[in-house]
Amino acid sequence: MVRLLTHADQYDIQGLVATTSYWLNDTTAPDEIDKIVRSYGLVLDNLQVHGHGQYPTEQRLLSIIKSGPRSYGLAAVDAVDAGKRISEGAQLLIDAVDASGEPLYIQVWGGANTIAEALRHVQLKRSRAELLQFCEKMRVYAISDQDNAGSWIRHEFPQIRYIASVHSWNAYGLAAWSGISGEGFYGFDDGGPDSDLTSNEWIKTNIQLGALGGSYPDVMFIMEGDSPAMLFTMQNGLNAPEHPEWGGWGGRYAPTYHGSRHFADAADHVVGKSGKTYMSTHATIWRWRRAYQNEFAARMQWTLHGSRDARTSHPPVVVVNGSCGSQPFELEVEAGSSVVLDATESYDPDSGKSAALNFSWWMYGEITATQWQVRWEVSELAIRRVQAIPGGSKVVVEVPSADKSCRAPKALHMADDVKPTCQAYHVILEVSGPGTPPMTRYRRVILKVKLPEETNIHDSPAHEEL
């Protein structure tokens, strides 16, 4: 909750609802949310200086703290069927979905019974078409199933885009979200993530500071298991909330089957702290740890200082080929061509200069692979720096030839009259600022490959296992 509030300039928060779960069957604690929000109010003026006035007021947040049903899981649905009044939390959710003209991102840090209660109420009160319209606005990210409502929702309302890890009951160490900090507690990817960045010592030094930081607890099991749901939607130039399969600070997720709206854990290849390469679902989150922890630490400094000076750092502004913003930058390119990507107009907002920025360009190959062994399917891009431009802000990308970038219909077990399918290569630009701690922003460049004219790859052989 403390992290969410320090990042609240990034979101339009519509509700803070206390829920039950497997770990808290029939009790909710909206009063605990209230306490933290009041601590936030004590540092709000300082935050507004750094967030350009985009932080919500304390009064606004206090007004949207509600409780979900004080019962476990599907008991809330049974209560709706029995004609009982829905909870304030469920009503708030219904009102927020109805009022939204765009997707509403719903984070489930505990049980999902408030969502189930709201959906059952809408199902009973509205037409089928109205129900579908309601569901199509919802985007759920659940920190695993922590009651029996989540699986019911996915079965009854399959049109809802729903991120939830698939594993045996309560086996949270198998879930991608535990990559936020759980390697020590759950015992995975030894030597991969930097565990120092999630230790109680680091937290005491960097987070438990001032009026709001004083609300941050010591680590009991793992640090902030729920935070991936929040980090998933942050506007940092990397995240693309409408595309869980593209990866970002909240992890990477793919459909459980073709056409499914249920997205579950995917895996990434990542070089860890030890220098070894790890491939795991957890790595889709811990690979970003230094960036998301530095972000949090920098924002905690904002809570302490009401001026933009040397004591605080701010995120760089990333510009690629003249384009600025957090949305992906798409380019249509020919197979076998060379593409120039130029970020020299990027700058540090504190100095107005680009010289102090650190640039890193790399290819995110797992995104467009359809199998575990990425190298069998996705050719590596050659990315070389333009030496005349210091700092690595300008690069040339060599797009693989047509026989490597595109696949014939037969190779994909499709009809002969279907056009060849070509890659959309994702190039990630990371830009870190000069402050302490340095803040990082990104630009996702998507190179959408097209075949050069008169290129024919229709005769490529089909893939056969036998």
pLDDT of 175 reads: 98
Distance (Å, whole) CA 164 – CA 141: 6
How crowded is the C-beta side of 42, counted as CA atoms within 13 Å?
A: 16
Within a domain: 55 = yes
| Token pair belonging to 90 | 């469920």
Q: Are residues 226 and 129 located together in one domain of the fold?
A: yes
Does 463 fall in a domain? Answer: no
Does the pLDDT of residue 20 top 60, yes or no?
Answer: yes
Q: Which residue has the higher pLDDT, 266 or 451?
A: 266
29 and 160: one domain? yes
pTM: 0.94
Same domain, 285 and 220: yes
Tokens at 310, concatenated: 């040397």
198 pLDDT more than 90: yes
Q: What are the two backbone dihedrals, phi and then psi, of residue 310, each rounded to the nearest 5 degrees?
A: -65, -15
Residue 224 belongs to domain with CATH number: 3.90.245.10
- For the record, the structure tokens of 181 come out as 């900090």
Claim to verify: residue 216 and residue 81 sit in the same structural domain: yes
Backbone Cα Rg of the chain: 23
The pLDDT score that the predictor gives to residue 415 is: 46
- CATH code for the domain of 357: 2.60.40.10
Q: Give the domain-ending residue among 257, 273, 289.
A: 289
- Percent of residues, the chain, with pLDDT higher than 70: 94
Q: What is the pLDDT of residues 304-360, one digit of tens each?
A: 999 999 899 999 999 999 999 999 999 999 999 999 999 999 999 998 888 789 999
For 232, phi then psi, to 5°, come to -60, -35
Residue 47 shares a structural domain with residue 99: yes
- How much is the pLDDT for 370? 84
Task: Measure Cα distances from 369 to 337, 366, 377, 401, 462 in Å.
Answer: 21, 5, 6, 17, 17
> Over the chain, what is the mean pLDDT?
94
Residue 148 CA: distances (Å) to CA of 71, 74, 115, 160: 12, 6, 12, 17
Task: Specify the DSSP element, H or E, that contains 149.
Answer: helix 149-156
Strand pairing class (104-108; 329-334): unpaired
**Would you say residue 459 lies in a domain?**
no
Residue 108 confidence (pLDDT): 99
Pair (95, 59) in one structural domain: yes
Let me know if residue 305 belongs to a domain: no
Query: Residue 43 is part of which domain span?
Result: 2-289
Q: What is the pLDDT of residue 412?
A: 47
Q: Decide if 361 is inside a domain.
A: yes
Using one digit for the tens of pLDDT, what is the confidence trace for 322-335?
999 999 999 999 99
Does residue 462 lie within any of the structural domains? no
Does 409 have pLDDT greater than 60? no
- Asked whether residue 351 is domain-assigned, the answer is yes
- 283 lies in the same domain as 146: yes
**Average pLDDT over every residue of 409-429:** 70
In terms of domains, do 328 and 282 share one? no
Interval 413-423 mean pLDDT: 62
CA 110, 30, 78: angle at the middle one, nearest 5?
A: 55
pLDDT tens digits, residue range 3-18? 999 999 999 999 999 9
Count of domains for the chain: 2
**For 358, phi and psi rounded to 5 degrees?**
-110, 125
User: Do 215 and 91 share a domain, yes or no?
Assistant: yes
pLDDT at 466: 56
pLDDT band, residue 389 (cuts 50/70/90) = confident
Instruction: Look at residue 418 in the predicted model and tell me its pLDDT.
Output: 47
pLDDT per residue as tens digits for the range 200-234: 999 999 999 999 999 999 999 999 999 999 999 99
Same domain, 218 and 268: yes
Instruction: Give the model's pLDDT for residue 371.
Output: 84
The predicted-structure confidence for 61-115, as pLDDT tens digits, reads as follows 999 999 999 999 999 999 999 999 999 999 999 999 999 999 999 999 999 999 9
Q: Is residue 299 part of a domain?
A: no
Q: Are residues 88 and 207 in the same domain?
A: yes
Identify each DSSP E strand in 26-122 by its residue range: 65-67, 104-108
CA distance 144 to 166: 7
Q: Residue 433 and residue 425: Cα distance in Å, rounded?
A: 26
- Residue 260 sits in the same domain as residue 150: yes
